[in-house]
Structure formats: C-alpha cells, structure tokens
Amino acid sequence: MIADVNGVVLGVFVFLFLLVTVLGFAAARWRRAQSLDSLDEWGLGGRGFGTFIAWFLIGGDIYTAYTFIAVPATLYAGSAVGFFAVPYTIVVYPLIFVFLPRLWSVSHRHGYVTPADFVQGRYDSRPLALAVALTGILATMPYIALQLVGMQVVLEVMGLGTDSDNWLVQDFPLLLAFVVLAAYTYSSGLRAPALIAFVKDTLIYLVIIVAVLYLPSQLGGWGNIFSSVNDSFTSFNVDNADAIAAGEAAPKGSMPPGPAQWAYASLALGSALALFMYPHSVTGVLSTRSRSVIRRNAALLPAYSFLLGLLALLGFVAIAAGVKVENPQQAVPQLFENEFSPWFAGVAFAAIVIGALVPAAIMSIAAANLWTRNIYRAFINRNATHAQEAKQSKVASLLVKFGALVFVLALSNSFAINLQLLGGVWILQTLPAIVIGLYTRWMHRWALFAGWAVGMAWGTWLAYGVSSPVQDHFGGPLVNFPGTETKFYIALIAFAANLLVAVVLTVVFRALGVAEGVDQTRAQDYHADAGDPGVEAELEPHEAIRT
C-alpha cells in the first residue's frame, strides 16, 4: 500500500491529521449546548458564531482543497482563463454584502435552516422549494467529490496507496480519511468544521506565504519565473503549431487571447453569482449571530482572494522549477515535495488534505439539512420533532459523503472534475427564487418554477454536448454564445433563459389570475437583527469565542 514514502513527511502528515481528528470529536463540547438534537444546534452550530469564527468557517467553506489544486494546475497547463477564480472572488463580496444580511434576518426571524425553507415561506410553494432543495443537493454532490480528488492527488504524490492493482488497497488512505470525517461530523455537526477551520487556515496561510517567499528565492526571482513560463509556452506553441491550427490542441499563454476574453469574463461573473447560492455557503452565513457579522466578513474575506492569487502563481513556479507531471493537478504537491524539506512538505500535504475535510463536512451537513427540512419534513413526516430532524440529517450526511466517495472511486478523475462545472450551471438557476425573492414578490411562484426547469434542462443539455480530448460529454463549462463563435459560460446562458421565462410567465399568470399563495414573511422581517423580538440576542465578543 505504501511505495517510496518519506518517513518524516508521513510522520508530520499523520500527526496533523490526528490533531484535527481529535479536534473534530472535541467540537461536540465546544460552545456546548444542552443537546445537539436539533438542526439549529447540529446543523447551524447554535446560530451564534461571531466575526472571528465565521471568518475561518466561511473562508474554509468556500476556499476548498480543490481550489488549492485546480487553480494553479490550470495555469501550469497553460490556460490563463483559469485565473478567472481571482476576479470572481473579488466580485462576489460586494454582492453578498448587499443580499445576505436580508437572508440572515428573515431566516432567523422564521427559523429557516435552508434557502429552500425561505422559498417555501416566501412563495407558499412546496414544488418550488423542492426544486431548490434538489438542485442544492445535486450541485453539492460533485463539489464534495472534488474534495476527494484533491485528497487523492496529495496521497498519490506522497506515495500512499499507489503500488497496488487492488482498488480497495489503493484507495485505503482515502477511505480511512473519509470514515474519520464522517464520524466526527456525525458526532459534532457544524461545530467540527468550524473548530478545524482554525487549524486548516493557519496551515494554508503558513504554507503559501513560505512558498511565495522561499521558492522564488531558489529559482532566480519572479522575473526569472515569468521568463521561464513565457519560454515554455512559446516553445510549446511553436512545436505544436500544426495541431493548434487544426484545433487539436489549445495554445498556451499567460494572458487570455482575444477569443477567450469573453469566456474569462463570463466564468468570473457566473461563478460570482453562483457561489453563495450553494447550500454550504448559506449554511455558514446562517450560523452567524448577527447581520453585522455578515457585513464584517464580507469586508474581511477578500483576504482569501489575495491567498488565491498567490496560489495561482504556484502553477507558474512549478513550470520554472521543472516539475514534470502527466496530471496537472499534481503540479503543486509535486513542487512541494521537490523543493521543501521533508518536514515542511508534510505540513503542506496535511494543509491541503485538511483543507478538503472542512468544506466536505460543511457541504455534507448543508445537503443533509436540505433533505431533512425540504424533503423528509415537507413530504414524508410533516410532524417531525427536532430530534427526528437531527437524526435524519446525521444519517443523510453520511450517505452524501459516501455517495460522493463512490462517485469518485467509480468514475475517472477527469469526468468528476468536469462534472463539477455543472454545479455552477445548476445552482445558478436557484438565484431568481432566492435573491430576487429577498427584495420583491412580484415574480409568480409557477413562473419561477418554469424558469428553473428551463434553465436546468437547457444548461444540462448544453453541458452534455461539450466534448474534450478525454470524454465525449460534460467536457467543459463553455459553449458558443447563441448565434456567435464567442465562447461563453453555460451557466449564464441558462440563467438568462431562466430569467426570461420567469418574467414572461409572471406577466401571463398574473393576467390570468393564477393563485400566488400566501407570503409568510413581512417587510420588517428582512431587517431584523440580533436582540429584536424573535431573534436570538447577540453574545458578547468574549462569550462568542470561548471554548
């Protein structure tokens, strides 16, 4: 099971992994409630996290291990379009500063646990709420799976589980990591990733800062790194000029060429709009104790965008360092193994794997909450107690994790990676019902449902028709914008169709007098804050972070 594993690397890695495992189980006693047998406690951490905790939790939630692997891997492969992740994380924070405090207020006023809860209350539509819930679960599954892909890459570079033809032996380290994750998530709920996020983010920042300071000093400085990258890309383009002209290979470059600029811009905008539609992002927000916590985090979280920019540059550093790997995802881990001392390489590998555990835990909790509140309680047991809801979520969180595990083990990594791009296509179709619904109820519930169905169907169909050198379907996130040769993000095209259908049918249904349902919310609900009637009082700062 173990081939050519450095003992120091493995020892440091195992120590840090055991540390977060202990923290995961200890989290059940952190900020201890009388019982975790409710979704408010198990699934939202008691709805009492302050600015400090929320910054680590939300940051650890949306900056995943795959981000640490995929963004630099894309640049390593010569596609500068992959750098879209940096501007989209800059664009997203002003957006969430505007609408997420409203979602927090109405959710805390009415006890909503999921975005689908809000849709049900706002539009009085169980089918629309079910559509939002199912979309959230669907979009989250490949996202969880890709945390596994990131972990697999690190384990492969370390030499764990790579010398056996038996899939069970080969993937045993990955199986063990997820069994541990499943156990402490089941035991501690959202408190586990919230506590582990402190360790995860500390390690990530340490590794990246050391990497961007130390590695360039060993490679002749940033000027030499960029020069090496340009020489490498130019050489590739010259040697493969015929294949590039025939469309059999893509040219490499450090700047997006003209035809790719709309692809770059649409990926950035579409991803920014989609990011906080994911149920795990909403879960992190609803766990905070006040509206002001959300606003402060929207102002502070761009620090992670700086981190992401540094991470992306490591793809170029790997080229300058002469890293040669067939799978670009291995570029950064291999760079760390080649250039760092064994003990610090162990720290770096642990940081990436722990960076997978935090978002995977939050994602599974968020998906489980959707199942419990918007499928089990809405359609199976409408009189479910708090304890029954918590039990359902705990079990569902296990099924979601292991469903994602089977997904990765059964399919090729390339397929899983490209399928994740569908997550943005799918989850963006819930934006009209959630975000527009926070400001107006003009949109008709059945028009929103029809728009969602059109966006989902067309977006999935467009993505199905995209091929790549390694697969015939779901080969990427871009297609030609209708009527042009300009590449564009599928999610935005489907979203435009969704919105058009919803607006037109709203006018039609209103003209026909189709019943709109009863809005359970009131205007003042969208401005409620901690301390208001029906909203949990904000804790004092020293109380909010005590253990």
For the record, the structure tokens of 326 come out as 């067939």
Longest dimension (CA), the chain: 73
Bridge partners of residue 454, in order along the sequence: none
Q: What is the length of the chain?
A: 547
Helix (H, G, I), strand (E, B), or coil: what is residue 471? Answer: strand
Q: What is the pLDDT of residue 544?
A: 36
Closest alpha carbon to 35 in 395, 365, 385, 378 = 385
CA distance 294 to 220: 42
The answer to whether residues 535 and 528 touch, using CB atoms and an 8 Å cutoff, is yes
Global pTM value: 0.89
Burial class (CB in 10 A: 0-12, 13-18, 19+), 20: buried
Closest alpha carbon to 348 in 452, 457, 215, 445 = 215
Bridge partners of residue 480, in order along the sequence: 487
List the chain pLDDT tens, one digit each, 547 residues.
445 778 889 899 989 988 888 888 887 677 666 666 778 888 888 788 888 888 888 877 777 766 778 788 888 888 877 788 888 888 888 888 889 999 999 998 998 999 999 999 999 999 999 999 999 998 888 788 778 778 888 888 888 765 555 555 566 667 777 788 788 788 888 888 888 888 888 888 899 889 988 999 999 999 999 999 999 999 988 888 888 777 667 788 877 777 778 888 999 999 899 988 999 889 888 888 888 888 888 888 888 888 888 888 899 999 999 999 888 888 999 999 999 999 999 999 998 888 888 888 888 899 999 999 999 999 999 898 888 988 898 888 888 877 777 666 655 555 555 666 678 899 999 999 999 999 999 999 999 999 999 999 999 999 888 877 667 777 778 888 888 888 899 999 999 999 999 999 999 999 999 999 999 999 999 998 877 776 754 433 333 333 3
- On whether the 7-26+36-421 domain is CATH 1.10.2020.10, my answer is no
For the record, the structure tokens of 291 come out as 């509206």
For the record, the structure tokens of 369 come out as 């909450």
Block residue for tokens 């539509």: 125
Burial class (CB in 10 A: 0-12, 13-18, 19+), 322: exposed
**If you ran DSSP here, which 8-state letter would residue 380 be given?**
I
